[in-house]
A = this chain, B = another copy of it.
Amino acid sequence: MAAEAGISRGTVSRVLNNEPYVSETARRAVEAAVAKVGYVRNAAARNLVTQRSRAIALIVHEPHSVVLDDPNIGNILIGTNAVLSDADHQLVTLMIDSQRDSDRVIEYLRGGFVDGAIILSARTGDPISEAIAELGLPASFVGHPPDAPAIPFIGIDNRAAAEAIVERLVATGRRRIGMLASGLDRDSGQDRLAGFQAALGDLFDPALVVRHPFYSYAAGAEGMAELLERDPHIDGVFAASDAVAAGAMDVLHRQGISIPEQVGIVGFDDSSWAIRCTPLLSTVRQPAETLGRRAAQQVLDQLLDGGEAPDGVILPTEIVWRASA
């Protein structure tokens, strides 16, 4: 094409990449040549030169549960988008709702459409995480599965946070304390259960742990009904998320059980659920927007440095004590 336009290859490249410092004459010559040889002025074509798409994927597992019940995802998205936008990178969110989605997303990642990826809510044995590690794609986990490949992550100390809030539940005199555990196929769920058990010590009774795959309102409603069947005299509940707590509180209300007088309940996230419960929910504040921001920054750092990937980063959490316990 440089031959067609009668100008240097560097000039052609500058025109095609929309770079400055190209004379109007040269630009017209290149564009005429482009029209003549049928070259498509196309970012996908530019990738061939720059090997960069300036797009970063955010991979979201479990859309039903996450999108409908987890307001954290919104804040993570907003934080991620803000940082990538400032760096002129396009955030593209990819949803995994089936094995077919998973296979296709792996092909998409292999296809050069994105320069990096942020992975939310990955479970153990996640094939996408493995594919990203194999591809050597710059990436970051928000939270990470116990068997995660060597990809940097950003997260919180779920175990310590759970232990701290459950200890305060014990300190208010509760003795028959149950847990509505969710997400036990990933670090967040496993660590929250471990923190619960550590805080209770001798008070821990495995029969008072009800398990559900998702961090959802429905999980809380079903789980609380089950917990009350197992022990009608339960006096404390640790819900694995605020959405779970909201479902549980509605069941307690419907059965005429008063909160916090008869049952104290605490959640996790400090999402919008926590301030729409009656009474307001005591919970662990998760810095969701900052998690998104830092994950985006981790990916950008890898792209710019091209050097050693950063290690994992743990952000602090905070207990927000309200009226529910």
Contact = CB atoms under 8 A, between A and B. Distances in A.
Interface string A87-122: 010111111011011001101101111000000000
Contacts of A113: 43-44, 53, 55, 113
A112 B43 contact: yes
A88 B108 CA distance: 11
A55 B90 CA distance: 15
Interface stretch (A62-70, A181-189, A201-209, A257-265): A62-70
Of the candidates A45, A105, A246, the one having the most CB atoms from chain B within 10 angstroms of its own CB is A45
Stoichiometry (number of copies): 2
Interface in A32-53: 40, 42-48, 51, 53
B51 A40 contact: yes
A74 B68 contact: yes
A93 B90 contact: no
A244 B80 CA distance: 27
Interface of A: 40, 42-48, 51, 53, 55, 63-64, 67-69, 71, 73-75, 77-78, 81-82, 85, 88, 90-95, 97-98, 100-101, 104-105, 107-108, 110-113, 217, 246, 250, 272, 276
Given A97-B85, A112-B45, A67 B63 contact: no
Contacts of A68: 71, 74-75, 272
A28 to B, nearest CB: 20
B90 A77 contact: no
B112 A42 contact: yes
B53 A44 contact: yes
Given A44-B44, A64-B78, A85-B101, 7 more contacts: A40-B112, A45-B48, A53-B113, A55-B113, A85-B97, A85-B104, A93-B93
Of the candidates A44, A48, A71, A107, the one having the most CB atoms from chain B within 10 angstroms of its own CB is A44
A254 to B, nearest CB: 10
Contact of A48 (B42, B67, B90): B42
A183 B72 CA distance: 24
A222 to B, nearest CB: 15
A104 to B, nearest CB: 6
A107 to B, nearest CB: 7
A73 B60 CA distance: 15
B276 A42 contact: no
Contacts of A97: 78, 81-82, 85
Contacts of A92: 92-94
Contacts of A101: 81, 85
B40 A48 contact: yes
A61 B295 CA distance: 22
B43 A63 contact: no
A95 B93 contact: yes
A94 B58 CA distance: 10
